[in-house]
Structure 1
Amino acid sequence: MTIRVVVADDQEMVRLGLSMILRGEDDIEVVAECDDGPSAVEAVRRLRPDVALLDIRMPRLDGLEAARLVAQDTRVVIVTTFGDDDLVDRALDVGVAGFVLKDAGPPILLAAVRAAAAGDALISPEVTVALLKRRGPTGRPATDPRLAGLSDRELDVVALVARGRTNAEIAADLSLSVATVKTHLVNASRRLGVRNRVEIAALAWSSGLVR
């Protein structure tokens, strides 16, 4: 199955570079390139791609507002830099499928797109550490009472999500099937009262579960 992607970034060099990497893969098709938020929203609604790769800072409509408008239509991966801390915090409320650094290599970009298309998510480990860690205390025992309702295996899965692992990587690390990992994530999300992997990771860092 070919993964159809809309790429949106107001910097032409970045946009062309992202598209070139994606077009080099047999299983990925770039169906549109956009230079601002409104054109990205229009392209997603018209073309119904599997994944929208959105720059976090774009003119007229930033990537997070665009993501909010199209989240029901496609999976969104945000492209960010370390200078975007405040906007990435807002993304926790939008429910994006993942974050990729602009200077990440092609393997990370491609893994994020494929994970999003498969209903999984990938958060660059650097983003997880630098941007989610500062949302609360670390380096001390977990204090969030919601974590007490998780089984030991669910805590293992949550901790690995917080470190940026995909479902396949978690399955390999814990010697589980991918289906079992997904079940643990669904159960953990319900018990924690969170909506997605990004919120799981934020809670794990802020509670001190991950150090």
Structure 2
Amino acid sequence: MTLVFALAFGNSNATEKEVIIEVVFENLTEKDLNSGVFFITETNERIEISNTKSFTVKLPSKGKYQFGFATDEFNAYTYYPARISSKKNTITIRLEEKKEKIFKTRYSHFPLNKRTNLTDEQIELEISKGSLNFIIHGIDNTIPEGFTEFKEKYGIGVQKENCVVDPLSFKKANENNQMISDYLTEKYGKNWLNELPIKPFGIK
């Protein structure tokens, strides 16, 4: 009886730590959304979206998260609280008309022709120049705490891009992050993952 109670109590505590977020859309256009991807950086989760109906997602605990939405049909802006809790748990995705001139200027920071299949020697050259970075997305330019120490140790920093994410930039950022991850794992094993302040999307 005591064991059953302890297990039930443990499961109750685990459930209490979980947070349910609600994702809502603001479509400022007259077009329907047909395809997009909602992603959560810290949990490495991707959710395929085909309409603007609200939906919920379960997170393991309250805290800081980075959310984003990628679609080639709209300019998509993602807004959310700095810290997620049971009371601050609404993620808003605003869809606006896609304009070609905005596309050309928004994504100039991470060149789409940047190679994401570098050899180890080429990666080490980029590290020596201080130009190799993980790519993350967010609504501001603040860099997550701990990345200064991470770069001092491993030579790899982080580059933060605008929260407006088009599918091609999203794909290139994922490939870039996975390339760096493979290099670090081959050189240091899995231990470096424990020192990563946040997990950029694309890292398994």
Instruction: Work out which of the two has the higher radius of gyration on C-alpha atoms and give 1 or 2.
Output: 2
Q: Please, what TM-score do these two structures have when normalized by structure 2? A: 0.31
The structure that is strand-richer by fraction is: 2
The structure that is helix-richer by fraction is: 1
* Greater relative contact order (CA < 8 Å, ≥ 6 in sequence): 2
Q: Please, what TM-score do these two structures have when normalized by structure 1? A: 0.30
